[in-house]
């Protein structure tokens, strides 16, 4: 089983729709969580951290469910510019060393 799993998609949704992705992680010792965005043929860029209480940044909402070991990303009122691949990232500290694991990404296309 992969440490971090995402539905690769693709998700095709119309502009203005709400779309949500989930990501599951296998290591219960994981400590911090992030969503990154990667445009085609570009480098990943940090979108937002995911806090235990959930957090919102404009149209984006991230939530963490430690009991079920998953994180989610919700995009409201989607824009054409939201088309990208969204990477789930989990940071686990083991014996003093941090380990960052990336999911394979969920591809999203927003259609006009």
Identify which of 109, 106, 111, 112 has the alpha carbon closest to the alpha carbon of residue 22: 106
The minimum distance between CB 6 and another protein, in angstroms, equals 8
CB of 78 or CB of 89, closer to another protein = 89
The rounded radius of gyration (Å) of the Cα atoms in the chain is 14
Question: Could you give the string, one character per residue 26-55, with x where binding to another protein holds by CB under 8 A and - elsewhere?
Answer: ------xxx-x-----xxxxx--x------
> Does residue 103 touch another protein according to CB under 8 A?
yes
The minimum distance between CB 68 and another protein, in angstroms, equals 21
Q: Tokens 């940044």 map to which residue?
A: 57
Identify which range of 9-17, 62-70, 71-79, 101-109 contacts another protein by CB under 8 A: 101-109
The minimum distance between CB 60 and another protein, in angstroms, equals 16
CB of 58 or CB of 96, closer to another protein = 96
């Amino acid at each position: 089983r992969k440490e971090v799993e995402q539905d690769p998609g693709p998700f095709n949704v119309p502009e203005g729709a709400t779309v949500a992705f989930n990501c599951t992680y296998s290591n219960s010792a994981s400590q911090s969580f992030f969503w990154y965005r990667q445009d085609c043929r570009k480098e990943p860029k940090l979108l937002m951290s995911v806090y235990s209480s959930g957090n919102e940044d404009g149209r984006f909402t991230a939530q963490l469910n430690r009991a079920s070991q998953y994180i989610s990303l919700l995009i409201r009122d989607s824009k054409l510019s939201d088309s990208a691949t969204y990477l789930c990232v989990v940071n686990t500290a083991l014996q003093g060393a941090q380990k960052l694991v990336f999911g394979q990404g969920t591809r999203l296309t927003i259609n006009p």
